[in-house]
Amino acid sequence: LNKFKDQKVVAALVNSQPEQRGQDEQKLKPQQSPLFQGWGENLSDEDQEAAQALFEKYGYNVFLSDRLPLNRELPETRESKCLQKKYPKDLPSIAVVLIYLDEALSIIKRAIRSIIDRTPEHLLREIILVDDHSSNDDLKGDLDVYVKSIEVQNPLFRMVRVRHVESLGLTQARISGWRAATADVVAILDAHIEVHKEWAEPLLTRIKADRTVVVSPVFDRVNYYDLDVVHYVPAAHAFDWALWCMYESFRPEWYHLNDTSLPGKSPSVMGIMVVDRKFLGEIGALDGGMKVYGGENVELGVRVWLCGGSIEVVPCSKIAHIERNHKPYAPDLSMSMKRNALRAAEIWMDDYKHNVNIAWNIPIKDHGIDIGDVSERKELREKLKCKPFKWYLENVYPQLDTWDNILAYGGMKNLDANICIDQGLFPGHTPIAFDCFNYGPQQTYYCSNGELYIGGLKSHKYNDNRCLADSGEDTFPDLYDCNEAVQKGMGIYWDFTQVHITVDTTKYTYRQFFPILYAPLNYFLFAKEVHCLKALRYVYFSRAKNSRTDKQKDV
């Protein structure tokens, strides 16, 4: 194993989980903190320590926020054509819901101030603050004082406070805000935002034209360290099969219009949404069975499309949104995210629901995760006469790969030791033997066409997987993007036979350590703890073929 010694140490750093890295960063000295990588070099030691303590508590620069004006100017980041647009006066009224849990007081106050200053007075009916059981004292007395001062200054709209007696999670907080609203349209926002000029008018104009469309602004990023606003271009809100959110290009027809100020269709929403209040109720509001965080926005997006509505991102509406360095209220979101993703899949994804299991590397059956009672939501689907998920994949999100060819997935583990095949250093081409830890770099997938992927599975058709490839030379197999391997004439199609191979351990000294053994004509690989769509346990495969029609040598 000396050959892999250095690789193993480096790989341990590469493969560490994001949440663990975040915890390690919080323990760093102030000068080493990510907070000070682009800000604060002139602060005194005392101020650096104070800023770092606030950063660890909130995940963004509260020390600086407390010193910025509440009505600070934001840079103009809208498309040039947006500046020329005129909007009607007789638009629907709007209620703005701000959701928070232990948010910094100055951040909430700045969000409120920006909404009041940049929303037409005749359209803004109410601002609703939903506190999901915060523990910070200043979000009680101090915030109450600020809210009362706003009410005195602005008697034409309501300031509404909703406080949960226990933390119910993001979805329930959004539901509480929606229920408290009385305006025609409800905008459900995070509290760590600032709205740009004319943010509301483009959204309300679209909803006035079509009450079944759910719209979202474009989010500019607010840096967590210096609170500067970074321009983001318009993009669709999408997701992978684990239901993690991501940005993606609009469909080609949007670009063919050659007008970047026009709304673009989007497969989903990212949590900040503006919708006709009554229409949201008609399609089932938000799924109250979702817990803590994650998946609820994708569930809503899929449901809207399947049940008679649509989703658009509106480029002429901009909101500046703080991207935290870490989420202090939920250091590890994966458990709730996994559970919520499985729940959404069970309700809406029909024959494709098992793809969520594959993405999370958990068994199709008996995974032991309680997703709650879904009978009411399935009844809602029947009542609304919603389309099948196949329609969504074909008409709304065809970029999502259906993974029809996956036969088995999991990890490839040596039978005699806790050693697994691992993708190794990335970028790089050499798989390694490494202690099993069952995360992305070790996830392995075997396909019906014989391809073997190591190090994760791509959710989208425009991305390529990493195939275990045989160069045809007297070397160990390597990892290459599958298309690249084919172009180089490598063999990527592996034939498996379910047998137990006995190897001469006097000849292969390191059998107990290596998951892959090389012989002149054969590779041997021992599999354990594989989630199977077709059963595999002890497997043997011979040298890979360049195509499915190659004649395989007998072994």
How many angstroms separate the CA atoms of 14 and 424, rounded?
9
pLDDT of residue 510: 29
How many angstroms separate the CA atoms of 138 and 102, rounded?
9
For the packed helices 334-348 and 296-306, what is the interaxial angle rounded to 10 degrees? 20
| Alpha helix positions (H), 15-140 | 18-26, 45-58, 62-65, 105-118
pLDDT of residue 37: 84
How many angstroms separate the CA atoms of 157 and 226, rounded?
33
Torsion of CA 77, 82, 83, 84, to 10 degrees: 160
**pLDDT < 70: residue spans in the chain:** 1-31, 330-331, 474, 496-555
pLDDT of residue 418: 82
Query: Residue 32 has what DSSP assignment?
Result: G
- Tokens (6 digits) for 542: 């011979």
pLDDT of residue 501: 43
pLDDT of residue 333: 81
Containing 341, the helix (H) or strand (E) segment is helix 334-348
How many angstroms separate the CA atoms of 149 and 96, rounded?
18
Residues 6+ apart with CB under 8 A from 458: 401, 464, 465
pLDDT of residue 365: 86
Domains of the chain: 405-550 (2.80.10)
pLDDT in tens, 486-504: 999 998 988 765 444 444 4
pLDDT of residue 5: 31
Q: CB–CB of 416/527 below 8 Å? A: no
Instruction: Return the amino acid letter for 279.
Output: F
For the packed helices 375-384 and 334-348, what is the interaxial angle rounded to 10 degrees? 40
pLDDT of residue 136: 93
pLDDT of residue 28: 52
Query: Residue 382 has what DSSP assignment?
Result: H
Burial 146-156 (b: 16+ CB within 10 A, else e): bbeebeeeeee
- Total length of the chain: 555
pLDDT in tens, 221-261: 999 999 999 999 999 999 999 999 999 999 999 999 999 99
Q: CB–CB of 364/406 below 8 Å? A: no
HSE toward the beta carbon, residue 515, CA cutoff 13 A: 26
